[in-house]
Each structure stands twice: as C-alpha cells, then as structure tokens.
C-alpha cells in the first residue's frame, strides 16, 4: 500500500477541528489539536479521539481522570495551529475556563464536552481514547473545517 495515497484518501474525509485539553498534576494544563474526534454512543454518552503513540503528551492524555474537548469555530485557525506545534501544548490561560471537574475548556467554542476517561485501546500507531461525557454545551458558531490537509469553512454561513 502506498502510504502517501492512503493519507490523501483519508484526508478526503472533511472533519471539524478540536482542542483536547487536560490538567496534568506534573505538566500543568495542556491542549492538543485533533481532528479524530467522533461521537460513539448515546447511552452511555461516549465520544472518542485518537492520539499518536509517539506524542510527547501521550502519558498526560492516557493517564488522566478527566479531559476536555472544545470544537473550534471557523475563526480559530490560529488556535488550531498553536496547539498543533510540538513542545507547545501549555495553554494560554486567558482563552480557557476550568470547569467543576478541573478540566480546561475554551471560553468560546462550537461545542464543549467535559469527559471522564472511559477506556483507551491500542490500535496501530495510535491509541483510541474514549471519554464518557459528564457535561457539554453548544453554541451557534460556524465550525472550523479540515479537508485534504487544509483549513476550510462552511460556504453557507458567515458567523
């Protein structure tokens, strides 16, 4: 299998972009950009995302009790780029609130989920991280999209 062709085919699936956040006792509050978020189950309420096995933040995201997911708005491309940089996962506190579970969540987002770590599963060069949603909220913002390796936004909406 040609890995470039495989990546390109996978990239044809347009996604949203989110920040996965955690407050680690040793490393502090971290955020990591991810587009592998997916809904998983309504009862119980489960969501998932995938973390690369070689991420510098692997321990923090797989040993945590709780983590957060903030789905980015169309105008938050800079935040996505910021937390996708290696060695740049410490959060800029002004942009975040901390919820009742100690989870950092973006102040402004399309939707926010505060999760309890439910399970993580090894799967190839990633682990699947499953969270049980404890609280969530959603606002009527247009989402940031990621498609074929580039950012995009919905054509039909202006806000």
Ligand X SMILES: Cc1cc2nc3c(=O)[nH]c(=O)nc-3n(C[C@H](O)[C@H](O)[C@H](O)COP(=O)(O)O)c2cc1C
- By the criterion CB under 6 A, which residues form the site for ligand X? 17, 32-36, 49-52, 55-57, 80, 84, 86, 89, 146
Q: Is 103 in a helix, a strand, or coil?
A: coil
Of 21 and 50, nearer to ligand X (C-beta) is 50
> C-beta of 61: minimal distance to ligand X in Å?
8
Buried-exposed string 138-155: b where 16+ CB fall within 10 A, e elsewhere: eeebebbbbeeeeeeeee
Looking up tokens 């989920």 gives 113
Q: Nearer Cβ to ligand X, position 43 or 63?
A: 63
Nearer to ligand X, 48 or 100 (CB): 48
Sequence-distant (≥ 6) Cβ neighbours of residue 137 within 8 angstroms: 111, 112
Q: How far is the CB of 140 from ligand X (least distance, A)?
A: 23
Token pair listed for 150: 């580039």
30 vs 43 by CB, closer to ligand X: 30
User: CB of residue 57 vs ligand X: minimum separation in angstroms?
Assistant: 5
């Amino acid at each position: 299998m040609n890995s470039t062709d495989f990546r390109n085919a996978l990239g044809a699936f347009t996604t949203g972009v989110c920040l996965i956040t955690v407050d680690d006792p040793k490393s502090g509050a971290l955020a990591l950009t991810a587009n592998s978020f997916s809904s998983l189950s309504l009862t119980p309420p489960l969501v998932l995302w995938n973390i690369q096995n070689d991420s510098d933040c692997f321990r923090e995201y797989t040993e945590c009790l709780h983590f957060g997911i903030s789905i980015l708005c169309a105008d938050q491309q800079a935040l996505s780029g910021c937390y996708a940089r290696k060695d740049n996962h410490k959060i800029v506190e002004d942009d975040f609130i901390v919820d009742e579970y100690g989870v950092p969540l973006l102040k402004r987002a399309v939707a926010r989920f505060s999760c309890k770590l439910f399970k993580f599963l090894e799967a190839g060069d990633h682990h699947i991280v499953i969270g049980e949603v404890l609280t969530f909220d959603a606002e009527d913002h247009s989402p940031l999209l990621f498609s074929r390796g580039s950012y995009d936004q919905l054509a039909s909406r202006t806000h």
